[in-house]
Structure 1
Amino acid sequence: MQFTTILASTVLAFASGISAIPAPFSQVTLRIFNDQTGINSDATVPADNAPRYLSDLFRGTPIGNAGLVATSAQLTQFSDSTKCKLVDQTGKNWVIELDGRAKNFVDLDGDVTKPIPVYIAGFTFQCTA
């Protein structure tokens, strides 16, 4: 009887420890487009709020190989609670917000009437979910 009680207590302790393990970060996929050339590429990152340079994320992709010039960006894999931002680290103070509900597509230069290419090597991308 005492052995059964100890065994049950041990199993419960392990079970509660397993449920306390944090869930892994969800992932978010960003697709970058150059609407003038038709070139586009995507990159997937964990939604851990860590900023990552687009130059690193898109190295070796069609967008990266074409000089990191883009006109728009879109979240293609995300959840409703996803909140992301593209931040220009070159001194222009551009912060472009994206989210999983109302704004999962953005024009990078802010002028939706024409595709104006933007050099994105100095941008970072970060998300939470």
Structure 2
Amino acid sequence: MSAIEALTSGLPLLLLHLAAASILLVVGAIIHLWLTPFRERELVAEGNSAAATVMATTAVALAMPIAATLATSLSLVDILIWGAVGLIVQLLVFVAASLALPNLKARIEAGENAAAITLGGWQIAAALLNAAALLG
């Protein structure tokens, strides 16, 4: 098979899998925004670096298990099912970490980066474990 034939046959599948992963990421981000006890988007628009840190680390943490699913899944159904499982785990980690950090809402709203970095660190650590588990 030539490189052009491989590209022609593989590119549509690649684009389909990438689209599915992107949709999962957007859905996870929307759910995250609903779960967040503070107005994350508005705070970022106002220049709150703590809220921006939480938003950025959440995006990375949500993407990690989806990326692991892309690396191991052979079908669109696998990507959707295991990607959703990975997202659920990450969203539960966010809720648990948010509850474990005292006064998180007020601290993020006040722009306290220490709280944001701690939350983000726990999310990324959990995402690494989550992704590794999904890789099997």
Could you tell me the TM-score, scaled by structure 2's length?
Answer: 0.30
User: Which structure is richer in relative contact order (CA contacts within 8 A, separation 6 or more)?
Assistant: 2
Greater Rg over alpha carbons, structure: 1
User: Normalized per residue, which structure has more strand?
Assistant: 1
